[in-house]
């Protein structure tokens, strides 16, 4: 795609090239506006955190017919062996409220829920295609797969496929994209925001005049100083699961323009991540460092102790908060422990040869090989855990089975199975940050509000820039959907404003 000419004015300037910015650009163009998009990354790394995601999209659906509308090619055999279930609006709202401990802004949450299915259909009109989200469901039972509800689909080609489809849509609609273009400040006058100052990859500095600017440039998860300042001590050690370009630029520009900070600035999406993963996401290798199947085993820390209920809830409703829990352990590391019974349930991510597990034929041998772990305490922990497993309740990985433990200070509420059948595996994990929760306050039209709650004319926000939706945790797959929803809102509103 040919870059736009530096300094050429447009109706709507979009800053950020992930799903939020791409949705904003397309919606603004639909509204009749001329649009230009600035992507700080080079073309090979375009797409923000969206590119590094698994493309899961949590949206309301009322049954298999809604799923078939999203995936028209579903064949009879797939339908016969799959129970897609439903995911109704009231459950989506309840999930957001529960995992955020009741703090999510109801207005923002309702917009996401109410627009979630429609925005997936809208993305299809721009070339996005979907597949069933097999990887996030329970393992098959007698060849039959039961969907947990929530994220029923993923983008074809995962995050990279989602990004490529939307960039192709931009090109087809004549929307110019500048790669390696970093917005450094908003241009303002007495009427509001009027454009942005930009520095190109070759050092050229210029201004783009635009009566409407959409900030969709992500959070601050890739900046060590910002993480430590707002998330706290220890977060400087985090591995970044996604793009290296989300360093708080848009947030700083918005705050400088008088935007109201909103949401949990001390919170972030952080998951357990392979201990020796690269410091940033790598678009050439995809996601092979996820360690999200903890519900099939147990976590232990360097003291040899369990520290979290691995079966507290469905994976999609817990994994994004367990990174913080791992960070709080000694050395900010932990080990996930499995035996021969549960290893077949692990995803392919656990078979990444660049970060192999620690294997042993006995628990005693495994204890000796866990470098840095208190071996005697580890063995005592496993013995106590095994003795506490309720063997009177059937194990069923297709649902919350209630097979827990009794008498432990830290219970395991579901999917508890004894760790006693060799061989055994330990997967060392640290914590990887995906995105930050703090942002700026917007209204129902994605217009940015100032400290007094008044609209800042000409300024809109979407994606990670929107604060107040997620606190402590998030329902898996809701990040991409909320970004698309508020991106589309910001695009429509900015197009009308321009």
> What local confidence, expressed as pLDDT, does residue 282 receive?
81
Which neighbouring-strand residues pair with 131?
154
**Up-side HSE of residue 72: CA atoms within 13 Å toward CB?**
4
Distance CA 46, CA 79 (A): 36
Closest CA to 307 of 332, 283, 285, 287: 332
How many angstroms separate the Cα of 181 from the Cα of each of 12, 22, 170, 204?
16, 15, 17, 9
pLDDT per residue over 354-406, tens digit each? 899 999 999 999 999 999 999 999 999 999 999 999 999 999 988 899 999 99
How many angstroms separate the Cα of 62 from the Cα of each of 55, 84, 121, 470?
21, 10, 14, 24
**403 with 183: CB under 8 angstroms?**
no
From the CA atom positions of the chain, what is the Rg in Å? 23
Distance CA 277, CA 159 (A): 19
How many angstroms separate the Cα of 123 from the Cα of each of 11, 105, 156, 471, 487?
22, 25, 12, 27, 11
Closest CA to 338 of 418, 410, 397: 418
Looking at the chain, the whole-number percentage of residues with pLDDT higher than 90 is 92
What SS3 state is found at 178?
A: strand
> What local confidence, expressed as pLDDT, does residue 398 receive?
85
What SS3 state is found at 367?
A: helix
Closest CA to 473 of 295, 313, 242, 287: 313
The number of angstroms, rounded, from the C-alpha of 348 to the middle of its chain's C-alpha atoms is: 19
pLDDT per residue over 294-325, tens digit each? 999 999 999 999 999 999 999 999 999 999 99
Segments in 139-232 forming alpha helices (H): 158-172, 224-230
CATH class of residue range 270-432:
alpha beta
> What local confidence, expressed as pLDDT, does residue 137 receive?
87
Strands (E), 382-423: none
Distance CA 413, CA 406 (A): 9
What SS3 state is found at 260?
A: coil
Residue 147 CB partners (closer than 8 Å, separation 6+) = 82, 83, 84, 85, 132, 133, 137
pLDDT per residue over 426-462, tens digit each? 999 999 999 999 999 999 999 999 999 999 999 999 9
Segments in 389-427 forming alpha helices (H): none
- In which residue ranges of the chain is CATH 3.90.700.10 found? 270-432
| Residue 6 pLDDT greater than 70, yes or no | no
Report the relative pairing of strands 35-39 and 176-179 from DSSP bridges. parallel
Per the model's pLDDT, the better-predicted residue between 6 and 242 turns out to be: 242
Q: Answer positive or negative: Cα dihedral of 369, 370, 372, 378.
A: negative
Mean of pLDDT values over 412-432 = 98
| Residue 140 pLDDT greater than 90, yes or no | no
pLDDT per residue over 97-110, tens digit each? 999 999 999 999 99
Query: What single-letter DSSP state applies at residue 332?
Result: G
Mean of pLDDT values over 149-154 = 92
Q: Does domain 12-220+437-497 have CATH number 1.10.3720.10?
A: no
Report the relative pairing of strands 298-300 and 334-339 from DSSP bridges. antiparallel
| Residue 4 pLDDT greater than 60, yes or no | no
The pLDDT-based confidence of 149 (bands split at 50, 70, 90) is: confident
Per the model's pLDDT, the better-predicted residue between 305 and 150 turns out to be: 305
Mean of pLDDT values over 13-42 = 98
The pLDDT-based confidence of 3 (bands split at 50, 70, 90) is: very low
> What local confidence, expressed as pLDDT, does residue 2 receive?
38
In degrees and rounded to multiples of 5, residue 313 shows phi and psi of -165, 180
Query: In this structure, what token pair is assigned to residue 315?
Result: 């994976």
**Least confident among 6-15, 117-126, 328-337:** 6-15
Residue 315 CB partners (closer than 8 Å, separation 6+) = 136, 292, 293, 294, 295, 476
What SS3 state is found at 479?
A: helix
> What local confidence, expressed as pLDDT, does residue 287 receive?
58
**153 with 133: CB under 8 angstroms?**
yes
pLDDT per residue over 194-240, tens digit each? 999 999 988 899 999 999 999 999 999 999 999 999 999 999 999 99
Buried b vs exposed e over 401-436: b needs ≥16 C-beta within 10 Å? bebbbeebeebbbbbbbebeeeebbbbbbbbbbbbb
- In which residue ranges of the chain is CATH 3.50.50.60 found? 12-220+437-497
pLDDT per residue over 173-184, tens digit each? 999 999 999 999
Mean of pLDDT values over 68-84 = 95
> What local confidence, expressed as pLDDT, does residue 286 receive?
58
Query: In this structure, what token pair is assigned to residue 121?
Result: 């259909």
């Amino acid at each position: 795609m040919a870059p736009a000419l530096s300094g050429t004015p447009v109706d709507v300037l979009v800053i950020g090239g992930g799903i939020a910015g791409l949705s904003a650009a397309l919606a603004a163009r639909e509204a009749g506006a001329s649009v230009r998009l600035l992507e700080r990354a080079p073309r090979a790394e375009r797409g923000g955190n969206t590119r590094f995601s698994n493309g899961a999209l949590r949206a309301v659906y009322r049954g298999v017919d809604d799923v078939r509308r999203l995936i028209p090619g579903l064949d009879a055999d797939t339908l016969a062996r799959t129970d897609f279930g439903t995911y109704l609006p009231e459950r989506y709202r309840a999930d957001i409220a529960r995992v955020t401990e009741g703090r999510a802004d109801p207005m923002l949450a309702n917009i996401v829920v109410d627009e979630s299915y429609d925005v997936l259909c809208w993305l299809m009109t721009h070339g996005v295609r979907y597949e069933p989200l097999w990887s996030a469901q329970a393992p098959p039972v007698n060849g039959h797969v039961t969907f947990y509800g929530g994220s029923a689909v993923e983008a074809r080609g995962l995050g990279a496929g989602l990004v490529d489809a939307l960039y192709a849509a931009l090109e087809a609609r004549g929307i110019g994209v500048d790669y390696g273009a970093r917005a450094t400040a908003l241009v303002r006058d007495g009427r509001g925001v009027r454009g942005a100052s930009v520095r190109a990859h070759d050092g050229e500095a210029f201004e783009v005049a635009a009566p409407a600017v959409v900030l969709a440039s992500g959070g601050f998860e890739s900046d060590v100083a910002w993480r430590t300042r707002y998330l706290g001590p220890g977060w400087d050690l985090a591995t970044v699961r996604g793009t290296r370009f989300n360093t708080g630029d848009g947030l700083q520009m918005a705050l400088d323009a008088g935007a109201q900070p909103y949401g949990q600035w001390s919170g972030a999406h952080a998951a357990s991540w392979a201990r020796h993963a690269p410091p940033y996401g790598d678009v050439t290798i995809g996601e092979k460092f996820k360690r999200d199947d903890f519900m099939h085993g147990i976590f232990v820390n360097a003291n040899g102790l369990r520290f979290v209920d691995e079966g507290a809830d469905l994976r999609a409703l817990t994994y994004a908060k367990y990174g913080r829990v791992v960070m709080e352990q000694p050395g900010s590391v932990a080990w996930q422990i499995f035996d021969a019974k549960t290893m077949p349930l692990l995803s392919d991510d656990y078979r990444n040869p660049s970060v192999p597990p620690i294997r042993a034929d006995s628990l005693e041998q495994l204890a000796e090989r866990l470098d840095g772990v208190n071996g005697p305490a580890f063995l005592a922990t496993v013995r106590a855990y095994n003795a506490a497993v309720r063997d009177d309740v059937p194990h069923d990985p297709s649902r919350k089975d209630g097979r827990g433990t009794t008498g432990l200070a830290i219970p395991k509420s579901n999917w508890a199975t004894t760790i006693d059948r060799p061989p055994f595996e330990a997967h060392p994990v640290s914590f990887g940050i995906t995105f930050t929760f703090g942002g700026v306050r917007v209204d129902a039209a994605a217009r940015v509000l100032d400290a007094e709650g008044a609209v800042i004319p000409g300024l809109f926000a979407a994606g990670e820039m929107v604060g107040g939706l997620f606190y402590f945790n998030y329902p898996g797959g809701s990040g991409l959907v909320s970004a698309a929803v508020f991106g589309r809102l910001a695009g429509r509103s900015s197009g009308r404003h321009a």
